[in-house]
C-alpha cells in the first residue's frame, strides 16, 4: 500500500506499507483527500518521537462495515471499548486509546486506513470532499461551546489567525459571539464570511501594556506560541475563561496569581464531536473552502509539506484519489 511515513524526522513516500486489518467492529476506508495540520508538521519535526503514518484530517469511502460504499469522515480517538469512558460513548478520554496518525494507529496519509465503526460518520451529499477534510479541526473549534457557556461569554478574543484560530473565530461567530481575532493578517478575517473583528499587535513582544484591558469574557489561545498565554490573561475580565486549543513546543511560564485574584478559569480543549461539524458544513453557514491554500497529489507530498510550512500558508490538502 502506498502512503507517507515519518521516521526520525524524515518523510518518505512508500509503496510497501501494510494494509489495515479488517478486524471485527472496524471498517477500512479508502482515503480520497487529507489535510496537513500543525500536528503533522510537529510530528515531522520530532514531536513525541513519532514514527509511522501520520494524518488525521480525511475524507474517503468505506470499504466495508455499516457505511460501505459511502463517503465518510472519522473521529480520531479509537478507544478500548470497555472502560468507563468508552461505555459512556466517549473514547476521547479512554486511557488505552490509540489516535489516528498520532499515537499507535496508522493515519490518513495512506491509501487506506481503519477505524472503529462507531467512529465513522457519513458525509452529507451537499458537502464537498474539500470541505469534508475540515471536519476534524472544525469539530475541535466547535468544542469550545461544549466547555464554555457562550450565553455568558459573549465577548470573545481569539489569539492566532492561522488555520485553527480562523476556525475557532468562525465557530464562535456562528454561535452568536462578538469575536475579535488577533493576528498578523487582517485580510484573513474576510475569508470567514462571518462577522469577526480583527486586531493586530496586542500580543506581540512590544505590545503596549495599556492596551484594551480586560474587555473579554472569553479568550482562546490558538497560536501554539508559549509566550502568548501570559499576555492573554490581562484581556479577560474577572471570572472570565481562557481556553487553550494548542500545545506548544516548549513549556509556558506564567504567573498564575491573576487567575486566583480574578477567579478566572483556564481550560484545556481538544477534540470535538464530528456530527456538529458536519451539520455546520451541510448548512453552508460557514464556508471553509477559502481556507485552502493548495492541493497536491500524494506523489508530491514532500512539496506539500514544504508549502504547508511556509509563512502565510493555511490549509494544504493531499489528494489520494486518481
- In this prediction, residues 76-98 reach a mean pLDDT of 94
Residue 75 sits in the same domain as residue 151:
no
Residue 45 sits in the same domain as residue 166:
no
Give the per-residue pLDDT at 22.
Answer: 82
pTM of the model: 0.95
Q: What count of residues does the chain have?
A: 322
Residues 195-239 pLDDT 10s:
999 999 898 876 655 556 779 999 999 999 999 999 999 999 999
Residue 280 sits in the same domain as residue 253:
no
Residue 102 sits in the same domain as residue 225:
no
Residue 135 sits in the same domain as residue 173:
no
∠ CA 310-314-315, nearest 5°, is 115
Give the per-residue pLDDT at 208.
Answer: 59
For the CA atoms of 288, 289, 293, 294, the dihedral, rounded to the nearest 10 degrees, stands at 140
Residue 8 sits in the same domain as residue 116:
yes
- CATH number of the domain to which 34 belongs: 3.90.180.10
Residue 17 sits in the same domain as residue 123:
yes
Residue 180 sits in the same domain as residue 194:
yes
Give the per-residue pLDDT at 212.
Answer: 65
Residues 28-41 pLDDT 10s:
999 999 999 999 99
Asked if 29 and 72 count as a contact pair (C-beta separation under 8 A), the reply is yes
Q: Where are the alpha helices (DSSP H) in 32-83?
A: 38-44
- CATH number of the domain to which 150 belongs: 3.40.50.720
Structurally, the chain folds into a number of domains equal to 2
Question: Residue 49: which pLDDT band, with cuts at 50, 70 and 90?
Answer: confident
Give the per-residue pLDDT at 206.
Answer: 62
Give the per-residue pLDDT at 163.
Answer: 95
Q: Is 12 exposed, middle or buried (0-12, 13-18, 19+ CB in 10 A)?
A: exposed
Residue 181 sits in the same domain as residue 208:
yes
The C-alpha cell at 241 is: 475563561
Residues 88-140 pLDDT 10s:
999 999 999 999 999 999 999 999 999 999 999 999 999 999 999 999 999 99
- In this prediction, residues 311-316 reach a mean pLDDT of 94
Quick check: helix, strand or coil at residue 303? Answer: helix
* Whole-number Å distance between alpha carbons of 186 and 159: 13
Average pLDDT of every residue of the chain: 94
* Whole-number Å distance between alpha carbons of 319 and 294: 11
Residue 263 sits in the same domain as residue 277:
no
Give the per-residue pLDDT at 207.
Answer: 63
- In this prediction, residues 299-311 reach a mean pLDDT of 95
Residue 153 sits in the same domain as residue 198:
yes
Whether 279 shows a pLDDT value over 80: the answer reads yes
Domain hosting residue 240, numbered range: 144-268
Question: What share of the chain in percent tops pLDDT 70?
Answer: 98
Contacts of 268 (CB under 8 A, 6+ apart): 243, 244
Residues 238-264 pLDDT 10s:
999 999 999 887 889 999 999 999 999
Q: Secondary structure of 212-250 in the HEC alphabet? A: CCCCEEEEEECCCCCCHHHHHHHHEEEEEEEEECCCCCC
Q: What share of the chain is helix, strand, coil (3-state, %, to 5)?
A: 30, 30, 40
Residue 119 sits in the same domain as residue 160:
no
Query: Which of 268, 286, 303 finishes a domain?
Result: 268
Amino acid at each position: 500500500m502506498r502512503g507517507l511515513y515519518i521516521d526520525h524526522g524524515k518523510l518518505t513516500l512508500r509503496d510497501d506499507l501494510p494494509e489495515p486489518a479488517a478486524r471485527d467492529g472496524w471498517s477500512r476506508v479508502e482515503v480520497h483527500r487529507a489535510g496537513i495540520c500543525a500536528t503533522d508538521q510537529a510530528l515531522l519535526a520530532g514531536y513525541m518521537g513519532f514514527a509511522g503514518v501520520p494524518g488525521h484530517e480525511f475524507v474517503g469511502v468505506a470499504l466495508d462495515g455499516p457505511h460501505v460504499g459511502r463517503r465518510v469522515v472519522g473521529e480520531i480517538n479509537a478507544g478500548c471499548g470497555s472502560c468507563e469512558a468508552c461505555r459512556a460513548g466517549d473514547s476521547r478520554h479512554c486511557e488505552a486509546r490509540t489516535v489516528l496518525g498520532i499515537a499507535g494507529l496508522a493515519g490518513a496519509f495512506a491509501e487506506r486506513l481503519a477505524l472503529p465503526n462507531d467512529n465513522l460518520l457519513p458525509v452529507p451529499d451537499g458537502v464537498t470532499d474539500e470541505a469534508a477534510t475540515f471536519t476534524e479541526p472544525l469539530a475541535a473549534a466547535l468544542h469550545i461551546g461544549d466547555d464554555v457557556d457562550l450565553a455568558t461569554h459573549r465577548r470573545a478574543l481569539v489569539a492566532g489567525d492561522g488555520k485553527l484560530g480562523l476556525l475557532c473565530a468562525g465557530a464562535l461567530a456562528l454561535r452568536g459571539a462578538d469575536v475579535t481575532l488577533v493576528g498578523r493578517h487582517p485580510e484573513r478575517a474576510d475569508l470567514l464570511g462571518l462577522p469577526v473583528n480583527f486586531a493586530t499587535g496586542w500580543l506581540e513582544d512590544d505590545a503596549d501594556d495599556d492596551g484594551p484591558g480586560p474587555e473579554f469574557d472569553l479568550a482562546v489561545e490558538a497560536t501554539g506560541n508559549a509566550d502568548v498565554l501570559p499576555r492573554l490573561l490581562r484581556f479577560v475580565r474577572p471570572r472570565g475563561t481562557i481556553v487553550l486549543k494548542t500545545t506548544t513546543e516548549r513549556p509556558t511560564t506564567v504567573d498564575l496569581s491573576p487567575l486566583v485574584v480574578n477567579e478566572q478559569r483556564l481550560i484545556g480543549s481538544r477534540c470535538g464531536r464530528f456530527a456538529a461539524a458536519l451539520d455546520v458544513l451541510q448548512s453552508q453557514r460557514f464556508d471553509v473552502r477559502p481556507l485552502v491554500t493548495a492541493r497536491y497529489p500524494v506523489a508530491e507530498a514532500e512539496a506539500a509539506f514544504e508549502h504547508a510550512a511556509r509563512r502565510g500558508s493555511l490549509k494544504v490538502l493531499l489528494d489520494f484519489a486518481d
